[in-house]
Each structure stands twice: as structure tokens, then as C-alpha cells.
Structure 1
Amino acid sequence: MSNPEENNITPACEVLSLQQIPLDDDPVDLQQDVRTPTIKVPTVLAERKLQIVVETDITLTPAATEIKRVTKNVFLEQVKLVPVRFRQIGNTDFFEVTRAKLFVAGFIRKDIEYASSACNGALRDRIADVPFSGFAEITEGEFLNFPVIGVSDSSKAHFLNEKRDTVPRLDKYFFQNLVKYNEQPYGELLGANFFELDFSPVRAEPEGTFSTLREKIVMDLYLKVLQVQQYRVQATRILPIFDEGTLGI
């Protein structure tokens, strides 16, 4: 028959705990009224997938005998939309962009882990930035919303000589300049899908080394193009209703 004291186990690393008390959980009463506010928000112009193809040679020092792992990230340094076709909005001097060139530039940051020829040697690490650049065309049917651009204008008025109506004044002019400052379209990085082939341009023996890694990279770049635009929308304004005792009740 076992001794009851032998079953009384004391924890080796005992800590203090506090049992939580359930709290009341009720929905908040809301006051709703329909309004038509004017808002200024980022508007998605296009969501595009661009395929970028690059080839590069990366030097490894010390020389490698085996590639262990390669990780990649993409960094965008430029996303610029250049309009090339326009459509006037009503009788205004604002235009919708119906066709544009999308310029992108950036680099692929590669982190290469490899083994050198040393026995029981530590893994080596090589970081390389592979630049890329290019452009794509966005047509009218590919825009989710059209970019809006306002055109600036300038005028110049000439005068006749006060004493001789047949002679112009070359020292007197009237100038008028209308300048519109537009919201700049910008890009947002969504993601990237990499496909690549890495190899030594000079064939190495199984226990040999190579100091150059040639990479052929195909990257599907997913990005979003936006512009801040102003809209009037129908919306419901919602305000919380507090219990009696709150200021104003």
C-alpha cells in the first residue's frame, strides 16, 4: 500500500497566478444619421503584375563549394506614371488620363548562404543588390479609376503706343498665369514571386570551388498605383450613445 505523502508532489518552478473575473459585456447604443460628406482619399488607379527578367554575376569571396540557401526581397525606388492620352471632363480644364506609361525601378536584395572548401568551416554569407528598371503601358480598359490632371495656363496681352495707334509698345505687357497643383500618382508594393536559376558559369568538380555565381531571375512584381482624389459619397454617420450622466444628456 502506497504512502499518501509520496503522491504530494511539489512543483519545481512554481509561479503565482490570478484567476480572472468575468465582466459584463453589452453592445453600445448608436445614433445614426444619413449624410453626404465630401472626402479626400487614396483611390486605386490600377493593380498590375509586371514581369521583370534580369541576369547577373555575383562574386563569392572566399570561393564556394556548395550553395545552401538563397533568400530574396524586392525594394522599389521609383513608381512613376507618365500620361500620354487624355479625355476632357465636361467643360472644365481637368482631364482624365486614359493611357499612360508606368516606369518602375528598384533592386532585388539577395542573401546567399554557401559553404566554402574548408572542412568543418562556418557558413558564409553574401548579400547582393541586383538593380532593375523598365516600363509598362496602361491602357484605358486597364484602369480601375482614371487619374485626374488639371492643366495650367498662361496668357499675355500686348498694348499699342498711346500716341501712335500703329505702333505696339514693346515695354508694356499684361501677364496672367493659372497654376494647378495636381496630386501625384504613387505606387504601393503588394508582393513579388521569384523564379531563378543559379549556377557557376565554369563547371566545378563535386569537391571543387567556384567564385562566381550566375543568376537568371524572373520576378513577377505585384504593385498598386494610387492617386488621392476627392469624392462626395452617401454615408451614415454613427455616434455612440452613453448612459445618463455624460455631459450634454
Structure 2
Amino acid sequence: MNNRNCGDNDCVDVNVTANIGECNNTLATPITTPAGERILRVPVTLQELTVSTNLVANIHFPEPVLEIKDIKKRVKIVQCRLLIPGTASANPFPAATTPFQLFIKGFVRKNIQYASPMPDSTANCVSSELRSLTVDVPFECVTTITSFLTPPQLPFFNTRSEFDFFRAQDLGVGFPEKDQLLSSDLSQFHQVSTQFYNQLPFCELISSNITEWDEAVDRTPLPNHQPFEEGSFQNLVEKMFLQFTVKVLQNQQVRVQAL
């Protein structure tokens, strides 16, 4: 390690180490909960399903394209929401065969690597530059989950209840002295409200599979008597069959037996 004076701003050079060796370790005894019945709040798998959808997109390139070299794809889910109704029942778990709708929204990120012809091409050879274009192809669909491995816990309704107190008031001038106004007091307001902070189901993306077909729709021969079989295009029609697997989960309290 380099020597430094303590008067310097940095007394130790942390970017240089004298030795990187193996560190010793010993097993530590973990602290566990006592044996017996316990209740854990853990993510519970409600269902795991494979969703299929179709996509069609028109892609325009900023310059002529000689040929497509490679296309890298990645599925991204931006919304995966299980629509479940509220319940006033003491048992918030519906039957496992109760259907619910799953709304899914996302896009396929595509990075297209392509060769663009250069103006100095000749009749014998074509010069080109490698370039790339990144586009997002959106999709949105709704699928129905007809059965669950574990039923979702339905949210409890919030409640608000008002109550009043009886009050007797004098009627004033123009009414018999012994008569009174019997009602509640409009100058007061009383309410009891209850809020439930329910657990929202969420999703995890497990895998995806894409089958695509890309076809140029405006391919024309290269100019200046370049090789007759060569051409370029700037517009592409893309058809995709998309399949992806998602896991729908919800944090629930589970009763387990600790050993």
C-alpha cells in the first residue's frame, strides 16, 4: 500500500490492496421460533398460467435497410391486476372455482440490428453500415382465471355510520309555552368509520415465448446498377404470437407447524 502523510486529505489509499486472500468462517447457530403452531404472512401462489396473445405492428426505419441482422426481444409487463370484489362476509375466501378477470398490459421491447447500404456501393459489391433500432410493441388483454390453487382473500368493505342524539328545544314566540321541538341537533355531527388495509394480489413474470414473422412491404432494387438481387426497404410489417407465463400471488396468513 502506498504511504501517505496524515496531513493529506486521504490517509489511506483504498483503491490499492496489499493482499486478497481467503477468509475463514465458522458456522453460527441461528435463532429459531419455538416449536408449535405458528401463523406466517407469506406470498401465496393463487394461480400460475400461460397467457397467449397476437400482435401486429408497422415499423418504419429512419434509413434504408439492406437486411436484418438480428432482433433481440424482451417482454415487459407494466400492469398485471386481478380484479376481485369486496366482501362483507366473515370468511373472505371464495370458492376455488369462482372466476375472476386478470388485466394484463405491457410491451415487447425489440432491438433490431440491420445493415444500411452505403452510397459508394458498386455493381460488384455493396458497402453497408451496421445500425440498430429499438421499438416498443404494446399489448393489452384480459384473461379469466376459472380456478385457483389457493383462493384470493377478498378485500373487506370500508364502513361509515352516522348517529345523532335526541334534543328538546323551545319553539319560541308564536308557539305554546309548553310545546317543544323534539328532534336531533343539526349543529352536531357524529360518525364512526372503519378502514381495512387489504392485501393486493400481484404478479411475477416467469417466462415468455415469441414466434414472429417480419416482412418488408416497400423493398426496391438498389440504385446505380448495383447487384440486381440486392434491394432496400424502410417499412416492415411484423406479426407476433406471444406467450408468457405469469404467477399470481397474494400475501396471506398461513398456519404452519414449527418443529
Deviation of the 1:84 alpha carbon = 4.4
CA offset at residue 48 of structure 1? 1.5
User: Counterparts of 2:152 and 2:220 in 1: how far apart (Å)?
Assistant: 54
Q: Report what 2:115 is aligned to.
A: 115
* Gaps in structure 1 of 5+ consecutive residues: 1-26, 237-249
Unmatched runs of 5 consecutive residues or more in structure 2? 1-26, 119-125, 170-179, 222-228
- The Cα of 1:195 is off from its aligned counterpart by 1.0
Equivalent runs, 1:1-249 vs 2, <5 Å: 34-84=35-85, 88-90=89-91, 94-96=92-94, 98-118=98-118, 119-139=126-146, 142-148=147-153, 149-163=155-169, 164=180, 166-205=182-221, 206-236=229-259
CA shift, 1:129, in A, is 1.0
TM-score by length of 1: 0.73
CA-atom RMSD, angstroms? 3.0
Return the letter of the residue paired with 2:148: F
State the percentage of identical aligned residues.
31
Aligned-residue offset at 1:28: 11
**Cα distance, 1:77–1:45 mapped onto 2, change above 3 Å:** same
Number of residue equivalences: 208
The 2-side partners of 1:89 and 1:161 are apart by: 37
Change (3 A) 1:40 1:124: same
Displacement of 1:180: 0.6
Deviations 1:178-218 (A, max 9, x none): 11101111110111110111001235454111001111111
Judge conservation of contact 2:43–2:251 (CA < 8 Å) in 1.
yes
Say which is worse superposed, 172-181 or 162-171, in terms of deviation.
162-171
> CA separation of 1:214/1:221 partners in 2, compared to 1, >3 Å: closer, same or farther?
same
Distance 1:165-1:184 versus aligned 2 partners, 3 A rule: same
Question: What is the DSSP-based 3-state SS (H/G/I as helix, E as strand, rest coil) of the residue aligned with 1:123?
Answer: strand
Please tell me the residue identity of whatever aligns with 1:75: K
Task: Decide whether aligned partners of structure 1 residues 38 and 194 sit closer, same or farther in structure 2, where only a CA change above 3 A counts.
Answer: same
- Aligned-pair distance for 1:222? 0.9
Instruction: State the alpha-carbon separation in 2 of the partners of residues 231 and 165 from structure 1.
Output: 57
Q: CA, structure 1 residues 161+38, in 2 after alignment: closer, same or farther (shift >3 Å)?
A: same
Once residues 100 and 87 of structure 1 are traced to their aligned partners in structure 2, the CA distance between those partners, rounded to angstroms, is: 18
Compare the two structures and name the one with the higher strand fraction. Answer: 1
